[in-house]
Structure 1
Amino acid sequence: MLSSTSLLTAQRPTQEDQARFVHALLTMSEAFFPHEFSWKNRAFYGRYILPEIRHQGNKPTCLFNAMCTAAEIEMARTAAMNYQPMYTRFDVDSFVRDYEDFAARIEYGYQCVQIYDVQSIHTFEDVCNTINQGRPVLGMLGLTIDFDHLPPTGIYRYYRERRKIPETTHEVVFIGYGLYFGERYLVFMNSHGERFGDRGFGRVFFSSVSDLMTLRVPSISPFRGP
């Protein structure tokens, strides 16, 4: 059984720890307080690989914000593994200006941040194993009137009868996972600033997410922030 001490102090779980922890999550008693794994406050190869929380404001740019955040995590992960510096910060607004029709031309969004090898992912176990490796997972949420008011310790659930009208979806980046009284959930980075949820992070039940995918980017990118 993986101890709570090892879960809290390990910089990067071994393959054996990954498998044991995922198994422990899936078989825990509902009466047992759940463990949570995320990269919010955890170092990968001695470095924190998550970028700053973005704020899209009132602009419908969640897709670009999520892609840029995921790309930065992938690049920071590679840099940490190779003991190299990481300075890249993507300028979301410039990408949106270049591709105003991005919602209908997602492939151009991938190109503008040099994303390749986009893969769909379907099971909770695969999401956990991907996150354990320091890799981000992109995914979609349906929005309800409750989403913007998610408390720091809350877990979001999509209820169709409380959906926003017109019906709206939102792209986020998953960087953690856990179990709450037997129900699986994911930890995500949002793009609504640090006042959202837990300083810009949130939790959502796995049953409320869709269109999960992973991506890869080159270790060095010509696009740099200011």
Structure 2
Amino acid sequence: MPAEARRVYDVREVAGAIVDDGRLLELCADWARNMVTALARIDGRPVGIVANQPRRLGGVIDAEASEKAALFIDSCNRFGLPLVVLVDTPGFMPGSGQERAGVIRHGASLLRAFAGARVPKLTVVLRKAYGGAVITMNSKDLGADLAFAWPGAEIGIMAARQAVGIVHRRRLEASPDPGAMLAELEAAYAAEHLNADAAAAAGYVDEVIAPAETRARLAWALGALER
């Protein structure tokens, strides 16, 4: 995972570090590449992996990504495969083109798929989850059995810069140094509203875990939910 929050990475490398022997069987790899769907094992147990792909479109959720994930989730539920969801997305793709493509309809199908799945469902927020994606990507509200977040994860309605630009627009316009003020307000907003500990305190996630603990915590959770 890059230290710089705006740098892209391949989520398949993160998934590979979590699953047995680093082996992923990716399905529909050439369709909706901003969403990864794959089969793997964790501690010997077969699982379905659903992951936003920051390497493609920043991991944004569009109509095709929603449809792809929903179909995969339904298949995993049908065959009794637990779901492991890796989240790093700025939210849903806006725009009239996406509206025509059916992003609302397919986004609703993704919500329905997660909510309707009766298999064990685990979520890990890797770096960010904003807007509707906070709920849609297997949130506690949709029935996730356990939700984890990495320490640097940001979870909220929108990114700090966008929120500050709306809330403090007049202060920024009146400031002699709007760039410095923006950076200061951004940091304060993120620290108070977006950090993983705040999300845990609010009940959006169950536990903040170190990246190195992810595989062990998922293996433990899968074992506990199996019994």
Task: Specify if TM > 0.5.
Answer: no
TM-score (norm 1): 0.27
Question: Normalization by structure 2: what TM-score?
Answer: 0.27
In terms of fraction of residues, the more helix-rich structure is 2
The one of the two structures with greater contact order (alpha-carbon pairs below 8 A, sep at least 6) is 1
